[in-house]
Amino acid sequence: MIQRIQSLYLLLVILFSSVLVYLFLQPENESILFSIYWLDLIFYTIPLLSFVCVFLYGKRKVQAVVCLILILFSLIPLISYGQKVYNGSSDMILYVVIGISLLESILLLLARRAILKDEKLVRSIDRIR
């Protein structure tokens, strides 16, 4: 399970998204980051879904779908806080959230690519048999 590269990518996503949850829960950052009510739910669902996705290694197709959902979820804070920065807000915490969300998205794309590569390899081995 942990030997697979996509599991390492997903564990890094869990780590980075947990940092975002920690930043979101800080009282001094709450007024800056709390712009949309449902956006905080996304901060909580990304580490939970990533954790579930790590243990779906036996069901690669489901794991790829969950990874795609995670990519979409990690793009939502990137877009909403990016729009805040574009409109003129210069808070450093927004840049940190955007950077971590972008890094999460890249790691999730790499994980999905590795999952699909594993699935293709398994299908080719099944054809040989």
At residue 15, does pLDDT exceed 90?
yes
Residue 23 tokens read as 């930043």
Condensed to tens digits (0 to 9), the pLDDT of residues 90-127 reads 778 788 888 988 999 999 999 999 999 988 888 888 77
Q: Which residue has the higher pLDDT, 38 or 21?
A: 21
> CB of 3 within 8 A of CB of 104?
no
Which residues, in sequence order, are CB contacts of 91 under 8 Å at separation 6+? 32
Closest CA to 115 of 52, 48, 68: 68
How far apart are alpha carbons 7 and 54 in whole angstroms? 6
